[in-house]
Amino acid sequence: MISSNPANTFLDPFKVLEQIPFGLENTLLARVDWKETAKGHVISVDVPGLKKDDIKIEIEENRVLRVSGERKKEEEKNDEENHWHCVERSYGKFWRQFRLPENADIDTMKAKLENGVLTISFAKLSAYRIKGPKVVSIESKQQGKESSVREEL
């Protein structure tokens, strides 16, 4: 039988995991590695036990990548035939979001789910396609003279 007695926390070190601050469990359900290579970016998300229909990948405003999903809990049926000795796996909704760098070519983004790992990859924009600071020339006429002033944004 599963006990919810707080005193048992001292006896069972795994009970400490149940005392995670609110909201932190959202990130624990989907641990992430993100690496940048010479040609692009690769994000790996641990999603064991999930199918592709359980996961959603979106690119929101301001180049924010959001990965969300839900791991559904099995019914905890306790009767003469079923007796739970330990329940430690995490369940529930999760989400992770990341601001993509300026050099991320979101049109090349691909995702693959294999062996409980969701891999999201995308190329880098080539240097000439990345917009940097823009210099704007200002023309004005002052007392019959033409002058040009440059201002950097």
Query: Which amino acid, one-letter code, is at 22?
Result: F
Tens digits of residue pLDDT in 93-113: 889 999 999 889 999 999 999
Tens digits of residue pLDDT in 18-72: 444 445 555 556 899 999 999 999 999 999 989 999 999 999 988 899 999 998 8
Q: How many CB atoms lie within 10 A of CB 69?
A: 21
Q: Is 47 exposed, middle or buried (0-12, 13-18, 19+ CB in 10 A)?
A: buried
The domain spans of the chain are: 23-125
The CATH classification of domain 23-125, taken from the options 2.70.50.30, 3.40.50.150, 2.60.40.790, 3.20.19.10: 2.60.40.790
Helix/strand/coil for 62: helix
Tens digits of residue pLDDT in 72-90: 877 766 677 777 788 787 7
Q: What would you report as the CA-atom Rg of the chain, rounded to the nearest whole angstrom?
A: 26
d(CA 36, CA 97): 17
Residues linked to residue 65 through DSSP beta bridges, in sequence order: 59, 98
CA 14 to chain CA centroid, Å, is 26
Residues linked to residue 40 through DSSP beta bridges, in sequence order: 123
State the pLDDT confidence band at 151, using cuts at 50, 70 and 90.
very low
